[in-house]
Each structure stands twice: as structure tokens, then as C-alpha cells.
Amino acid sequence: MSATLDDVKVTQQHASRPPPNALGINVEKPKFPQYAIYSKRLESFDLWPQYLPVQKKDMVEAGLVFTGVGDSVRCYFCGGGLRNWEVGDVPMDEHAKWYPKCPHILLVKGQAYIDRIVRGEKPEIDGEDGTTIKQDSVDSVNHLETAAAQSCIQMDYSREMVAKAIQIFIAKNGNSDFKGKDLCEILFDIEENLGELTINISDANTVNKCVDETNEVVKEDETLEPLETLIEENHRLKENQMCKICLDSQADVIFLPCGHRVSCAQCAPALLKCPICRQTVNGQLKAFFSVTNVKH
């Protein structure tokens, strides 16, 4: 008896398929599941020496647990150990550097982040607005002393607003060769966007006045939604995107095979079943969101 040619081809195709972790899918279970919960890992750092140059919060987010000996820590998921921390060390980066196959890093940061660390490149971080900002731009506060930045500050813009404009410029252009005009244009865009999001009653009255001048009889509640309604709707949409476990971070992990997205990467490893459908979680996939600003 022998296999047919079609069967051989199917077998070869299955053999050549990449493993789940190569596709960004985690199917492994934590080696120390009792520390899969963020708060439990944080408790392990109660006796963390204050003189050490690394913050406990950064250690916990990187999936590390304090062993109680010196400055030695161990990952709750892959079991990898780290020690001899120095000034400037970033726990997440060091974890990814020494243990690039760790499922916790894969879930929290994604495969692209791990690849950059392995290549020795500076990683990128996610901004609050969903955009990706290079690590160098985090130091944009150092650019606040430039003449261009100071000119914007003298125009009564706060240092925080100017620093944000610098970050946006660097993220967009890949360099810090900005001029005062460049920062002002970004600041104007920020103000314009804020103005669109904060509709007040005076704006509604202005619109109604224009309508009356054109002899159109339209009631105020039919032309514009009340400000309270807009705020409530915005709050509801944000809540729908939050992790249903910690209620603090964005839900960015997709459970497989059910496909539900209800948890953040820090809480997902502790769940054996989906909170929505109660189906067993056989895999987890990191989800990424992009925000595109469309100018009218």
C-alpha cells in the first residue's frame, strides 16, 4: 500500500506550516500560574530593595516575580531568570532580549517588538492616541529648550502641549529638525481637534441662529445632541474597549477559538475559559489598533 500523490502534497503543506508562536498565537500555559495575576506579582515585590535602579511596576508589567534573593527575578510564564540590574535597564526590553520566545512578551508587546529587540534596535511604544512613537521621541522634553519650542511656549502654550507637538513631529518625520512654524501647525491641529470634541452650548446657539436666519424652523434638540449625551456615549464606547478583568487597560487579546476580546495582555494568561462564552481558551492572540486622523 502507498499514499497517493495528493496525500503526499497535503502532508508536505502541513509540515511546512509555521508553528502558532511564529504567527503571534500563544498556546502555552504559564509555568507559575499563581503569578499570572498582576496583583500577585506585585505582592512578591513587597520586599524589593528600594536602592535598586528598577521600579517594581516595570518589573510586574514585564511578567517578572521577585525571588526574594538579591535582585533576582523570574518570569511567571517562561520561567526565565534575570539579575544584576543596572541603571537604565528596562525590564520589558531585557526580558525580550534574553528570552525572545516568552509568551508573556509576545502577548503584551507583539512579535514585531521582540524582533526589534533581537536586532538590537530601539523599540517603539504605543501613544495614547493609538499611534506608534519611536522611543527617541519620549525624550522630546529635551527639545523644549530649543528656540522653536520656546517661541511656542511664549505664545501661552503649555510645556506639555509643546512636548506633545514635538513627539508628533518626530513620529511623523523621523527627525527632530523642527521649526517654530512646524510646531505651531501641529498645535493648531490639536486645538482644532479638541474643539470638535468639546461642543458647548454657545456653539449650539450659534448654529440655531444661523438656521433661523435662513427661515428654517428647526428645533434645537433635533439639530444637535446635548453635550451630556455625547459625553455619555463617548464614555460608554471607552468602557466597551476596556479589559473586563482589571477595568484599567485596553482589551487587546483575542481568545481562540471563540474569538472574543475581553481582556488585556496582563490579565489574559490567568483565564482558562472565556468570560463571555465559557469556552476553553486554547490560544491567545495580541490585537493591534490603528487610528487614522482624517482632515476635512
pLDDT 10s digits, 94-151: 999 999 999 999 999 988 899 999 998 876 555 444 444 444 444 545 677 788 888 8
- The enclosing H or E element of 133 equals strand 132-134
Q: Residue 130: left (phi > 0), alpha (psi -120 to 50), or beta?
A: left
Sheet order of strands, 283-286 included: 25-26, 283-286, 253-256, 261-263
Q: Annotate 160-189 with b (16+ C-beta within 10 A) or e (fewer).
A: ebbbbbbbbbbbeeeebebebebbbebbee
**Mean pLDDT value of segment 37-46:** 95
CATH numbers and ranges of domains, the chain? 17-126 (1.10.1170.10), 149-197 (no CATH), 202-236 (no CATH)
Which of 142, 124, 145, 123 minimizes the C-alpha distance to 133? 124
Does residue 89 contact residue 100 with C-beta atoms inside 8 Å?
no
Long-range contacts of 81-85 (CB under 8 A, 24+ apart): 85/52, 85/53, 85/54
CA–CA gap between residue 73 and residue 43 (Å, rounded)? 13
Question: Quick one: pLDDT at residue 218?
Answer: 44
Residue 262 parent element (H or E): strand 261-263
Q: Under a CB-based contact definition with an 8 Å cutoff, are residues 281 and 256 in contact?
A: yes
Q: What is the pLDDT of residues 251-287, one digit of tens each?
A: 989 999 999 999 999 999 999 999 899 999 999 998 8
For residues 286 and 252, give the distance between their C-alpha atoms in angstroms, rounded to a whole number.
6
Q: How confident is the prediction for the chain on average, in pLDDT?
A: 78
Placement of cell 501647525 in the chain: 185
Distance, CA of 172 to CA of 51 (rounded, Å) = 38
- Between CA 261 and CA 127, with CA 65 as vertex, the angle to 5 degrees is 45
pTM summary value:
0.57
- pLDDT at residue 45 is higher than 60: yes
Residue 133 has a pLDDT of 46
Looking at the predicted structure, is the pLDDT value of residue 159 above 90?
no
Nine-digit cell string for 6: 495528493
Low-confidence winner among 13-27, 98-112, 175-189, 273-287 (lowest mean pLDDT): 13-27
Share of residues in the chain with pLDDT > 70 (%): 71
- DSSP-derived letter for residue 126 is E
CB 186 within 8 A of CB 168: yes
The length of the chain is: 296
Between 216 and 64, name the one with better pLDDT.
Answer: 64
